[in-house]
Structure 1
Amino acid sequence: MWWDLWWNRTLKHTRGHLVEIMNSRNILISNLTFRNSPFWTIHPVYSSNVVIKDMTILAPFNAPNTDGIDPDSCTNVCIEDSYIESGDDLVAIKSGWDQYGISMARPSSNIVIRRVSGTTPTCSGVGIGSEMSGGISNIRVENIHIQNSAAGIRIKTDKGRGGYIVNITITNITMDKVKVPLRFSRGANDHPDDGWYPKALPKVKDIFITNLVSFNSRKAPVLLGIEGAPFEGICMKNVSLFGLGPTVQWNCEHISGFVNGVSPSPCPLLQRNISLTCT
């Protein structure tokens, strides 16, 4: 009924998270199956020392905003050994929304996501943002398998967000039938109210992507930074995208970085060598 009311625009209240843990520490969620959440499925917020493992999360593919696991303004988090089917991101890291996230200044940091697999036909396997105004740093994503999905790895932000996304490591990723393997996007045009600050620009820097293979890709990566706040230090090594036509080109703006062993050839904004900072 949640989704019928949502699509009909007759829902008078927000939809609830299936499990939301706030202002807590030393949390273990494991060995459970969660089905049909009306909104985000597992949402730890303002918490630390959180382990979420051996989970099965299932939502209808056409159910909006049914993210699997969303650590939000949390530190020291491990998400591992889980399978997720969702109508939104499988895992999304967040830290507050526009002026509210900036004023709270509660970052998400020291988060490991590993051995997670799943499908989302409308969103991404692992998303960072778009609510990231409190800052996101020191994230490691490894040994992930994504299939039949709209995007593989996605970084989402916008003018008005402020905050930062820095020191992100993404390694040993396998994708199959993922439409856009890598998508760094801007311009969500999604704000909580009219009080957001247009001059609050996010900082995105030091994104390390290694040992990524995508089979049956349909579109080249889309890497779009923000004018006046380019995404810097995007470094890729051993990235292979199979299935793209020979004339398909990467879509890049306002980014900089280095690549080594990336095919098909990336955009010229990513120089074809690896600097010491990328290792």
Structure 2
Amino acid sequence: MKTLTGLLALILITAFHMAPASHEGNLSFNSAGVDLPKILAPTFRKDTLLISKFGAVADGLTLNTSAINKAIEQCNRRGGGVVVIPRGLWLTGPISLKSNVNLHLAEGALVQFTDQRTAYPLVNTSWEGEDAVRNQAPISGTDLDNIAITGKGILDGAGDAWRMVKKIKLTDDQWKKLVASGGVVNDKKDLWYPSEQSFKGATMTAVKSGQPMAYYEGIKDFLRPNMLSLTRCKRILLEGVTFQNSPAWCLHPLLCEHITLRNVTVKNPWYAQNGDGLDLESCRNGLVEACTFDVGDDGICIKSGRDEQGRKRGVPTENIIVRNCRVYHAHGGFVIGSEMSGGVKNLYVSNCQFMGTDVGLRFKTARGRGGIVENIYVDGIDMTNIAGEAILFDMYYAAKDPVPQQGESTPGENNELPIIPAQPLSEATPQFRSFQIRNVTCKGAETGIMVRGLPEMAVKAILIENVVLQSRKGFVCIEAENIRLKNVTLLSPAKTLMQIQNSRNITLDNIHYADNTNLLMHISGDRSNGIKLLNTNTSHAKKTAETSAGVPANALRMN
């Protein structure tokens, strides 16, 4: 097989016949003796209340905030049950959930949250992992037990009334129409804001915490809410509903337990700033199953607080199952971080598809975060058209789009990777360790696998097994330790397939690649050592390995 395309076809056919017919059994999780977490589901009385009985009108004009909240409150006082939103267009302000209430959207129900920002009062809440004052979320609940949002209806968060928009995200015609609609454009003429308040907030160096409420009133429009905000709640069910057009993050459970998302659809415009789909923050015991995400930032995201506040809270996100989900446009398909300062552990991800995301499996953090991410199991991921990395471990997250704009450079573009100076270890040093990633395919990515640790804290103990990746660049490994690639196919036209810098105990076992690869491996850095190339046919490469000056003479062993 002499061509890259031909080799890809052969490998994909082989992989198809070797793969199990279904990932329903969580693949290797059960066979490895892993005890999956048990998630408690809510239960509700059959008592049913219609919001129309409380004066709600489905004309798209009447503001039904009071009627919907009265129905929820009365249902709660009676011991719980189901509050039904029938078919129709229901305009409303913020909805407050109550314990023991299932808010059920009938098929054909469209709940449109008002675009009048004055309808959302400022409240004490959180923003990107830290305490903050923001506008009240369209849907919220605090210290609740036994709650649900179910049905086949749609909840629309009126996000266009809140979000700033980058010119580069739109066509020229779209940008002209947006500017003509009102709002404010910055001096560079490349960012649009919905109001003067929004623009004022964006131009501040930082929004300070702990200020009098009058301080926040002056930039109220800038303080976008998340669409669904649940804090310290237990036994949560979101099922069947579509959540769309969020002002910021869409679904944000914080410090919650026993969470089930099933057959939920989350949609945000692809240009939506901070338009995450799901952010589970410092939560435990959760199931995300058969859900679909098409959003403007990360799709399925795991967090646990930011920097000092996250470490002080010290509550990891743990015991989470994600399976049978689809992610379309998003910055990352399945993501951990970057706000992971309270730690993350015991996650089980299986049978998911990522199509057109910027990154597939995205694990990101930065100096200053602290926190330990460990015991992450991924099995059965299929990806197409990934703009950046198919699999990414990055400890230099810089809070910008993961795909470089034209003219920017990315690590791995040449053999001599930049050397980053070490910093002293502290509680603010983050850690990634103990990941198992199996049975992954990707057709089309910029980079197949990238691992980028810190010189003072390597990415450690990563197994990547039974993987087929077609990408422009193959494998880039910087500041890593105890990394094992086994039965991995890297189909790349890059002149150098694998680049390893200052990494130790790297095992490359049964690596497949395209014929006529120029250089199989380049090793650099005086701390690179213990690199093994096993069970790999090196005859397809013009040259097997090169080392830069300073690499120990016995750093690489082959057999």
Match of 1:115 in 2: 324
Conservation of the 8 A alpha-carbon contact between 2:433 and 2:460: yes
2:479 aligned residue = 254
Q: Which stretch shows the higher mean deviation, 6-15 or 176-185?
A: 6-15
Matched AA of 1:165 = V
> How far is 1:66 from its partner?
1.0
The reply on whether 1:65 has 2:252 as its aligned counterpart is no
Deviation of the 1:187 alpha carbon:
2.2
1:2 is displaced (CA, Å) by 1.1
Secondary structure at the aligned position of 1:259 is classed as strand
Partner Cα distance (1:186, 1:139) in 2 = 19
The equivalences for 1:1-279 within 5 A come to 1-4=161-164, 7-8=192-193, 10=199, 11=201, 12=219, 13-121=222-330, 123-179=331-387, 180-189=389-398, 199=426, 200-242=428-470, 244-245=471-472, 248-256=473-481, 257-264=483-490, 267-268=499-500, 269=503, 270-273=506-509
Superimposed CA distance per residue, residues 159-218 of structure 1 (whole angstroms, 9 cap, x where no aligned partner)? 11111000001110000111220111122346xxxxxx9831012111110000001223
SS at match of 1:102: helix
Q: Whole-Å Cα distance in 2 between the matches of residues 97 and 259 of structure 1?
A: 31
More helix by share: 2
Q: Which amino acid counterpart does residue 85 of structure 1 have in structure 2?
A: D
Instruction: Answer whether contact 2:327 2:353 (CA < 8 A) is retained.
Output: yes
Letter aligned with residue 445 of structure 2: S
Distance 2:475 2:485 in 1: 13
Q: Which runs of 5+ in 1 are unaligned?
A: 191-196, 275-279
Distance 1:66 1:76 in 2: 24
Kindly tell me: are residues 188 and 253 of structure 1, through their superposed partners in 2, closer, same or farther at Cα, counting changes over 3 Å? same
Provide the secondary structure at the position in 2 that maps to 1:272: strand
For each residue in 1:192-246, what CA deviation from the matched residue of structure 2 results, as whole angstroms up to 9, or x when unmatched? Answer: xxxxx9831012111110000001223232210112111100101101102x35x
Q: Is the 8 A contact 2:163 2:224 kept in 1?
A: no
Does the 8 A contact of 1:160 with 1:198 survive in 2?
no
- Any conservation in 2 of the 1:234–1:255 contact (CA below 8 Å)? no
Give the structure with the higher percent strand: 1
Return the alpha-carbon distance in structure 1 between the equivalents of residues 454 and 301 of structure 2: 21
- SS of 1:221 mapped into structure 2: strand
Q: Distance in 2 between matches of 1:15 and 1:213?
A: 37
C-alpha distance in 1, partners of 2:499/2:433?
Answer: 18
* Cα pair 1:177 1:218 within 8 Å, conserved: no
Name which of structure 1's ranges 12-21 and 127-136 shifts more when overlaid on structure 2. 12-21
Highest Rg: 1 or 2? 2
Between 1 and 2, higher relative CO (CA 8 Å, sep ≥ 6) is seen in 1
Shift of 1:146: 0.4
Contact kept in structure 1, 2:363 and 2:394, CA below 8 Å: yes
108-117 or 12-21, which moves further after superposition?
12-21
Indicate if the aligned counterparts of 2:262 and 2:290 stay in contact, CA closer than 8 A.
yes
Change (3 A) 1:32 1:62: same
CA distance in structure 2 between the aligned counterparts of 1:198 and 1:254, rounded to whole angstroms: 15
Q: Judge conservation of contact 2:359–2:386 (CA < 8 Å) in 1.
A: yes
Residues 62/103 of structure 1: CA separation in 2 closer, same or farther (3 Å cut): same
Q: CA deviation at 1:273?
A: 4.0
Contact in 1 for aligned 2:396/2:452 (Cα 8 Å): no
Runs of 4+ in 1 over 3 A off after TM superposition: 4-9, 265-270
Provide the secondary structure at the position in 1 that maps to 2:308: helix
TM-score scaled by structure 2?
A: 0.45
Which amino acid is 1:254 matched to?
E
Q: 1:225 to 1:104 in 2, by over 3 A?
A: same
Identify if the C-alpha distance between structure 1 residues 198 and 99 changes in structure 2 by more than 3 Å, giving closer, same or farther.
Answer: farther
CA distances 1:247-274 after superposition (whole Å, capped 9, x unpaired)? x342211112112101116555531249
CA distance in 1, matches of 2:507, 2:369: 28
In 2: Cα distance, 1:181 partner to 1:133 partner: 24
Structure 2 residue ranges without an equivalent (≥5): 1-160, 165-182, 184-190, 202-218, 400-423, 491-496, 511-559
Query: Could you tell me the TM-score, scaled by structure 1's length?
Result: 0.89
SS in 2 for 1:3: coil
SS in 1 for 2:341: coil
Do the aligned residues in 1 keep the contact of 2:475 with 2:499 (CA within 8 Å)? Answer: yes
Tell me the distance in 2 between the aligned counterparts of 1:103 and 1:63.
31
Identity over the aligned pairs, expressed in percent?
Answer: 28
